[in-house]
């Protein structure tokens, strides 16, 4: 891969390459630039890129969000049980 011109902001092709990369697999030179460039960070976040939509639509992300949802539901349940227990102690 040809090396990028230092200090130059990412073009559309490079933004797509970065957005389409798997986590941890982004081209290091592109990631390095975006890490220090708020302009490119904003463009990356604002960009409506097909690569990102395809990745978000993949069911691979489902178990993680399902696990987070389950953990949250358990926390809420524990809070409710604790509240009921407290009320019972106060009344009993």
* Nearest residue to 31 (alpha-carbon basis) of 21, 80, 65: 21
Min dist CB 12 to Zn ion, Å, is 13
Contact yes or no for 4/30 (Cβ under 8 A)? yes
CA dist 66 and 72 (Å) reads 10
Count of CA atoms in the C-beta half-sphere (13 A) of 54: 8
Min dist CB 40 to Zn ion, Å, is 3
What are the residues binding Zn ion (CB under 5 A)? 9, 37, 39-40
Looking at the Cβ atoms of 19 and 40, the one nearer to Zn ion is: 40
Looking at the Cβ atoms of 26 and 37, the one nearer to Zn ion is: 37
Looking at the Cβ atoms of 20 and 37, the one nearer to Zn ion is: 37
Min dist CB 13 to Zn ion, Å, is 14
Q: How long, in residues, is the chain? A: 92
């Amino acid at each position: 891969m040809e090396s990028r011109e230092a200090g130059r902001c990412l073009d559309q092709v490079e933004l797509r390459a970065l957005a389409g990369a798997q986590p941890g697999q982004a081209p290091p030179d592109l990631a390095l630039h975006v890490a220090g460039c708020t302009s490119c960070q904003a463009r990356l976040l604002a960009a409506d890129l097909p690569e990102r939509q395809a990745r978000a639509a993949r069911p691979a992300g489902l178990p993680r969000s399902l696990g987070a949802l389950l953990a949250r539901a358990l926390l809420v349940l524990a809070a409710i049980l604790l509240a009921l227990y407290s009320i019972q102690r106060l009344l009993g």
